[in-house]
Amino acid sequence: MNEIDISLVDWSRAQFALTAIYHWLFVPLTLGLSFMLAIMETIYVKTGDEGWKKIVKFWMTLFGINFAIGVSTGIILEFEFGTNWSNYSWLVGDIFGAPLAIEGIMAFFMESTFIAIMFFGWNKVSKKFHLLSTWLVAIGSNLSALWILVANAWMQSPVGMKFNPDSARSEMQNFWEVLFSPMAINKFLHTVSSSYVVAALFVIGVSAWYILKKRNILFAKKSIVVGATFGLLASIFVAVTGDGSAYEVAQKQPAKLAAMEGLYDGQKGAGLIMVGMLNHDKEVGDQNDAYHFKIEIPKMLSLLGYRNADAFVPGINDLVYGNSEQGIISTQEKIEKGKIAITALAEYKKAKEQGDIVLAQNHKTTLEQNYKYIGYGYLDSPESIVPNVPLTFYSFHIMVALGFFFIALFAFILFMMFKNKLENKKWLLRLALWSIPLGYLASELGWVVAEVGRQPWAIQDMLPVNVATTHIDVTSVQITFWLFATLFSILLIAELRILTKQIKIGPKGGENV
């Protein structure tokens, strides 16, 4: 095995994380606002009220600003699979590349085709055709997200594939199994619905600012009704899909679940932590308490993770050192089996080159018997399967707390709207405005849980990140990291300035006649 440059791995991870974080600042608003535009334009076409047309045009302008800047970061993100993660791309390109190709061929082209009609087709096409174009942009945007999230879900739970020892690559066997895996379905529904919440908070927050400034009051109230209704439904759906996602994590990524809950020693009837403070001196295998304090709901983690209130939930120590009573083998055993698989693959290829078919078949059989652990063969120690527990734990619990806060916020805003008292609730309007960054925070924290929580794996149990990188000079990655950091920061600042300028101009200035 070639010596691994840990510095290269760390900088490659940092660059990809940087790009992903910046990219996700633009995506949620695109996904959610596109559907709200379609809903608002449907109201306009149904009622013929020109006021709704003005509302649609204003939010469409903000959508366009966000969409244009967001595309650039997404393109760079996909290129990085080839530039920084070529070993990963070589191993699973046949599988991972398929949904990305479909995203570009089908969803993105549909989105980009009809977005021109949506922006420039006013008074050039019929109202109904223009409305259809707006809906197709929304559907196209979300289909783009579907294929990206299917690819990511496959990394979390690889299915529908078979390893080919002759090419040393994983090949797709069942496309539909990849597309409709429970992990993919839950990840797509949870991620897009959380994006709808972010967009709804944006619409409500900007509208609240107009009311606070005593400008465009009717416009703002109509926008809030759509945004709060859309946001309330989406936030409730986020909670439902979050439960489904957590169940899949319990089945496929138990180390991530243990990190999410700071669970070191497995329990039957494990409780769900509501509030807690981790003991940062806690190490895997020691006798220190995991928490300084905690408040939990008894048996809820077992119920949510395994649909059985008395089910055993493995902790980090069980997963690292094994638990014979629960049939959990230790990571050290997995590492040994993984090394056997790696050796068998090398011996198989050697026997094939020498023309010894019988010996090659024997090595192939050994490989197949141990293949499910092949990724473990590249790990240095059993403890390396443990992700960053504090980061995963706090990210998860802050995200969940914000999710329930958003449900309450949307519901209360709608209640005040129907009571016709929202205009007088200055504190609520200010809270709505300052909830915009909280929506983005919750969305980014969701990705922290998903990606940090599955470390050290690039592909769960198959490929650790330390052998997935491209063999290039670390200086090249460092230089591009800082170039991208500068470029993305400039783009973000530019978007914020353009958006705030457009918001200050208001809906009349946002008309595209």
Instruction: Check residue 80 and give its pLDDT.
Output: 84
Is residue 223 assigned to a domain?
Answer: yes
Same domain, 274 and 368: no
- Specify whether 397 is located in the same domain as 350: no
Which H or E run contains 45? Answer: helix 6-47
pLDDT at residue 3, as a whole number: 63
Q: Is 425 left (phi over 0), alpha (psi -120 to 50) or beta?
A: beta
Give pLDDT tens digits for 403-452: 999 999 999 999 999 999 999 899 999 999 999 999 999 999 999 999 99
H or E stretch including 460? none
Residue 2: per-residue pLDDT: 53
Please name which of 454, 371, 477 lies closest in space to residue 91, comparing C-alpha atoms.
371
What pLDDT, on a 0 to 100 scale, did the predictor assign at position 5?
77
pLDDT tens, position by position, 458-470:
999 999 998 888 8
345 and 421 co-located in one domain:
no
Kindly report the average pLDDT of the chain as a whole number. 91
Write down the pLDDT at residue 193: 96
Residues 22 and 144 in one domain: yes
The whole-number average pLDDT for the span 484-488 is 92
Say how far apart CA 434 and CA 444 lie, in whole Å.
17
For the chain, what's the residue count?
Answer: 513
* Span of 61-70, 178-187, 233-242 with lowest mean pLDDT: 61-70
Residues 62 and 177 in one domain: yes
> 């000079």: which residue's tokens?
473
Confidence of residue 510 (pLDDT cuts 50, 70, 90): very low
Mean pLDDT (whole number) for 310-314: 94
323-337 mean pLDDT:
94
Average pLDDT over residues 483-496: 92
Query: What are the phi and psi torsion angles at 162 (to 5°)?
Result: -145, 140
pLDDT, tens only, 114-128 = 888 898 889 889 999
pLDDT computed for residue 513 by the predictor: 28
**Beta strand pairing call for 267-268 and 312-313:** antiparallel
Residues 413, 434: Cα–Cα separation, whole Å:
14
SS3 at position 303 = helix
Is the CA virtual torsion 230, 503, 485, 72 positive or negative?
positive
Q: Please report, to the nearest 10 degrees, the dihedral formed by the alpha carbons of residues 186, 191, 197, 200 taken in order.
A: -120
The residue out of 298, 321, 344 marking a domain boundary is 321
Q: Considering the domain boundaries, does residue 512 fall inside one?
A: no
Quick one: average pLDDT of 235-253? 93
493 pLDDT exceeds 80?
Answer: yes
- 79, 208: one domain: yes
Tally of structural domains, the chain: 3
My answer on whether 198 and 277 are in the same domain is no
Residue 459 sits at φ, ψ, to 5 deg, of -130, 125
Domain containing 288 equals: 261-321
State in Å, rounded, how far the first CA of the chain is from the last one.
64
